[in-house]
């Protein structure tokens, strides 16, 4: 989209209630003078009939400047962090109140908890008139306001992971023993737990990766949340949180599991853009087609099989295996 088209869309949106979606790439060509007073702008793109937002909030004109309104409308149903949703957003709310008192550039505009959803919104003042510079400033402030809540979630996740590990006897066997258990364990639960521990310990062996939580669901699915501070340029550009899900099934993993895992990544409140779907016995051809279909999206799912995991254990270099899988998925 070029500037002329974006300006025309903004003028057409005047007088309507629905926000206007503009791609981030065009913002640098727009100023506050291009935005009608009654228009709200969401940053993202439309693919098919689905809107993919880069940020949960909108830009609006206030006087001669562009301001931002951050909106968190989150449900407990899809909340996976190791601290409760109410605790997380309460920390964000407190951070907003402190910054409002100390800096005066943010204002809490709404907070409500109805038991299922929690809604938190706050406005951010800007001094620029260029939309791109304002947008970067707004996103930076939001990141700072969420920082304390993110750190709290990481600390609680590490403590829970350590407690779960002690209860389950994590770390008592070497990696080769775990790999044998993945293939030879007598029950589905034992195979799942063995693969969970094997993958978590492989991630922990990579410099800059820290496993912060492990969640087992009622359907034997396993989520491993990894805090990403790896210096490798391929992972340094990725999100602060990585997600891994392991499936030690007798058959191959298909498209449905791939799509569901991708949704889990997207539901991490924009904090996760990369996930590893590990299927011990491989993938159906439908997964490759799904990879091609989503090749232009921000969220990247990297499929890995038991073959790659065995290679990592044998070579003692999980980072090399991860980067090779990353490059393969990016080129797909």
pLDDT digits (tens, 9 = 90+) for 167-197: 665 555 678 888 888 888 777 777 878 888 8
- 95 pLDDT higher than 90: yes
pLDDT for the residue 219 = 44
CB of 199 closer than 8 Å to CB of 246 = yes
* Mean pLDDT, the chain, whole residue set: 84
* Better-predicted residue by pLDDT, 14 or 52: 14
**Pairing assessment for the beta strands 41-47 and 50-53 based on DSSP bridges:** antiparallel
Q: Name the pTM for this structure.
A: 0.62
Region 111-121: mean pLDDT is 91
Helix (H) and strand (E) counts in the chain:
10, 12
Tell me the three state secondary structure of residue 115.
Answer: coil
Q: DSSP string of 28-39?
A: GG-BGGGS-TT-
- 332 pLDDT higher than 70: no
Please state the separation of Cα 63 from the chain's center in Å.
34
CB of 211 closer than 8 Å to CB of 199 = no
Share of the chain above pLDDT 90, in %: 27
CB of 253 closer than 8 Å to CB of 283 = yes
Cα separation, 285 vs 275, whole angstroms: 19
Domain ranges within the chain, ordered by starting residue:
3-152, 169-331
Kindly report, residue by residue over 276-328, the tens digit of the pLDDT.
Answer: 999 988 898 888 777 766 555 678 889 999 999 999 998 888 999 999 988 88
Kindly report, residue by residue over 226-267, the tens digit of the pLDDT.
Answer: 888 888 888 888 878 888 988 888 888 888 888 888 888 876
Long-range contacts of 215-221 (CB under 8 A, 24+ apart): 215/80, 216/192, 220/188, 220/189, 220/192, 221/245, 221/247
Q: Where are the alpha helices (DSSP H) in 205-317?
A: 233-236, 255-266, 285-293, 306-315
Kindly report, residue by residue over 46-77, the tens digit of the pLDDT.
Answer: 776 777 788 889 999 888 888 999 999 888 87
186 CB neighbour count, 10 Å cutoff: 8
Domain 169-331 has CATH 3.40.1350: yes
Q: DSSP string of 27-75?
A: GGG-BGGGS-TT--EEEEEEETTEEEESSSEEEEEETTEEEEEEEEEEE
CA distances from 73 to 78, 80, 99, 266, 267 (A): 12, 15, 21, 14, 12
């Amino acid at each position: 989209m070029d500037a002329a088209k974006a300006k025309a869309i903004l003028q057409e949106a005047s007088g309507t209630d629905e926000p206007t979606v503009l791609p981030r790439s065009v913002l640098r060509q727009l100023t506050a003078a291009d935005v009608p007073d009654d228009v709200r702008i969401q940053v993202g793109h439309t693919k098919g009939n689905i809107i993919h937002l880069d940020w949960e909030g909108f830009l609006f004109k206030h006087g001669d400047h562009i301001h931002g309104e951050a909106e968190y409308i989150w449900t407990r149903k899809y909340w996976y962090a190791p601290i409760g949703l109410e605790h997380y957003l309460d920390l964000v709310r407190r951070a907003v109140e402190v910054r409002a008192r100390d800096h005066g550039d943010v204002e809490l505009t709404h907070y409500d908890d109805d038991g299922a959803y929690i809604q938190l919104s706050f406005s951010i003042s800007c001094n620029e008139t260029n939309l791109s510079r304002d947008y970067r400033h707004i996103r930076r402030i939001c990141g700072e306001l969420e920082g304390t809540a993110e750190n709290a979630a990481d600390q609680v996740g590490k403590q829970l992971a350590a407690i779960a590990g002690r209860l389950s006897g994590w770390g008592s066997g070497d990696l080769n023993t775990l790999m044998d258990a993945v293939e030879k364990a007598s029950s589905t639960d034992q195979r799942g737990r063995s693969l969970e521990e094997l993958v978590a310990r492989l991630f922990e062996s990579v410099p800059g990766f820290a496993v912060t939580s492990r969640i087992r669901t009622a359907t034997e699915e396993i989520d491993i949340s990894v805090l990403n501070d790896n210096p490798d340029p391929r992972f340094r550009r990725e999100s602060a949180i990585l997600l891994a899900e392991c499936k030690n099934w007798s058959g191959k993993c298909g498209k449905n599991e791939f799509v569901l895992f991708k949704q889990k990544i997207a539901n991490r409140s924009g904090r996760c853009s990369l996930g590893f779907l590990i299927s011990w016995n491989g993938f159906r051809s439908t997964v490759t087609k799904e990879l091609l279909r989503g090749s232009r999206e921000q969220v990247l799912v990297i499929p890995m099989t038991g073959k790659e995991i065995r290679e990592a254990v044998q070579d003692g270099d999980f980072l090399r295996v991860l980067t090779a899988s990353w490059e393969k998925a990016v080129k797909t």
